[in-house]
Structure 1
Amino acid sequence: MTVPIQASILDQADEIGLGTLGPVERTQLGDRAWVDLLPNWVACAQELFEFLYRAVPWHAERRRMYDSMIDVPRLLAFYDEHDPMPHPALERARAQLTTHYARDLGEPLCTAGLCLYRDGGDSVAWHGDTIGRGAREDTVVAIVALGAQRPFLLRPRGGGRSLRYSIGHGDLLVMGGSCQRTWEHAVPKTSKRVGPRISIQFRPRDVR
């Protein structure tokens, strides 16, 4: 990984702030599914990206696909509810999101899953976060995107016309209600030259 890290970033840790969470643009998708979008929620987003790019213990994974084991096309990290976050801004983000979405969620956001998309060849295929309670219960998954903008696609489960968002640079996108069961999302590969991107997914307990 070759992103340059400024020496002053650690000194600037307290300067990485968050905007307010109201009003947020909400799109109703049907069947109690919805998605919120708030551009530029994270102030000093580039500094936070560079810090996480360097400080997080990224690792590669292999997963079974049909009869073969394949490399997951992105790097990963996971912070469980009792793990210290890699940066205090993530603690503040989780707390602020929990407060704002208390009526929609009814419980705290506990975990943070991080993905590093190194270039346009890294991606995530169509899926819903249905490991655990997301397969049978309404929930909230809040995504903070840092670094280069990449398309984030949503489509009805089983196929249909997709919605396209371009998120990065501190944008916040939140999927709620039945979205994980009734819709799917993806970050497709691209042949365009794009820089690295970090996605931070805040979820409640037992939702992956």
Structure 2
Amino acid sequence: MYDGLKCHELDKNHKFWTGILPDELHLNQAELNNLWDIHPCDAHEIKMYGRFVKAPRWQQVYGVDYHYTGRVNKALPIPLLLEPLGQWSKEKINNHLNGMVVNWYDGKLGHYMGKHRDSTTNMLSGAPIVVISFGEERIFRLRPWKGEGYKDFVTKHGCVFVIPYETNQAWTHEIPFSKKYQGQRISLTLRAFDVM
């Protein structure tokens, strides 16, 4: 389905795709440093169990506002540095991808992402979610929603993951906390939203 990406069967009905960016789209150290330097000063607030808490990482939305956990994360224009990644994702994976969330993880600060399913508010039905990772490797864990067990994948520098729409509804994903990881990781998550 996605040229150059490997399909993994999570269960009899749900798939997950992995691959690597073309060499020309990998960010070099100077570009990574520039991208790291634009992370917000404060953590974004998310709603959990009826109260607002600081997310355990930095986050910024680009391109299209993102509605989730009872909040609206207001979008900024997509940085020039990230535009080629968005264009490649549209050409190779889904031409409706128009919103981008960037997450910055500092291992020394214990940053992580808890298990969740991405909000589908305003998301185009059937459109996949694309995750692109740079920097330190981390574990990307998938769990069946209200089920048992999990499947782990490693987020290597320049890797690409594709979560089909149906898989996002049936499986959670997370970046677990681990003292093993002390470096910096940046992830881009691209989604397709109805902006009408």
Is 2:86 aligned against 1:94?
yes
Q: Is the 8 A contact 1:60 1:75 kept in 2?
A: yes
- For residue 172 of structure 1, what is the amino acid of its counterpart? V
CA distance in 2, matches of 1:80, 1:64: 22
Q: 2:18 pairs with 37, 40, 50, which one?
A: 37
Alpha-carbon distance change, 203 to 59 in structure 1, aligned in 2, over 3 angstroms: farther
Pairwise CA distance, 1:62? 2.5
Structure 1 partner of 2:121: 132
Structure 2 gaps of 5+ residues are 65-74
| Matching of residues 49-198 of structure 1 within 5 Å | 49-57=32-40, 59-66=42-49, 68-81=51-64, 83-88=76-81, 90-102=82-94, 108-119=96-107, 121-133=110-122, 137-198=125-186
Q: Residues 46 and 146 of structure 1 are in contact (CA less than 8 Å); yes or no, is this contact kept in structure 2?
A: no
TM-score normalized by the length of structure 2:
0.80
Measured in 2, the distance between the counterparts of 1:22 and 1:77 equals 29
Could you tell me the percent identity over the aligned residues?
22
CA deviations over 1:136-157 (Å, ceiling 9, x no partner): 9333111110111010001111
Please tell me whether the aligned partners of residues 129 and 165 of structure 2 are also in contact (alpha carbons under 8 angstroms).
no
Over 3 Å counting, the alpha-carbon distance change for 1:206 and 1:119 in structure 2 is farther
Q: Rg larger in 1 or in 2?
A: 1
Count of paired positions: 181
Instruction: Report the Cα offset of residue 187 of structure 1.
Output: 0.4
Give unpaired runs (5+ residues) of structure 1: 1-20
1:63-103 Cα deviation digits (max 9, x unpaired)? 33335432210001110248532134x2222222222224x
CA distance in 2, matches of 1:174, 1:67: 30
| Superposition misfits of 4+ residues, deviation over 4 angstroms | none
Q: What letter is aligned with 1:97?
A: S
Deviation at 1:130, TM superposition (A): 2.4
CA RMSD of aligned residues (A): 2.6
Q: Deviations over 1:9-57 (max 9, x none)?
A: xxxxxxxxxxxx7321111334643211113544244343222101344
